Amino acid sequence: MIKDWREGALLGEEFEGKGRDIEEGLEAAKLLVQYGYDALDIDVGAYG
């Protein structure tokens, strides 16, 4: 739940979500594997 760059959203708060969806994330992870990366550290942008 991300409102904007470095601005997470709280549960129940109204906002227009930003960021990547699952499909985009999977494609990015596949590219990273092809480029030789073996780890990926991610954050969902939520406080909970």
In a domain, 14, yes or no: yes
In a domain, 16, yes or no: yes
Give the tens place of pLDDT for each residue, 6-20. 777 788 888 887 777
pLDDT grade for 37, boundaries at 50, 70 and 90: very high
**Mean per-residue pLDDT over the chain, rounded:** 80
In a domain, 28, yes or no: yes
In a domain, 9, yes or no: yes
Q: What's the structural domain count of the chain?
A: 1
pLDDT at 46 over 90: no
Contact yes or no for 15/3 (Cβ under 8 A):
yes
Bridge partners (DSSP) of residue 26 are none
- The range of the structural domain enclosing residue 9 comes to 2-34
Count of alpha carbons within 13 Å of 19, Cβ hemisphere only?
20
pLDDT grade for 45, boundaries at 50, 70 and 90: low
Bridge partners (DSSP) of residue 7 are 4
Contact yes or no for 45/1 (Cβ under 8 A):
yes
pLDDT at 48 over 60: no
Alpha helices in 1-48 (DSSP H): 22-34
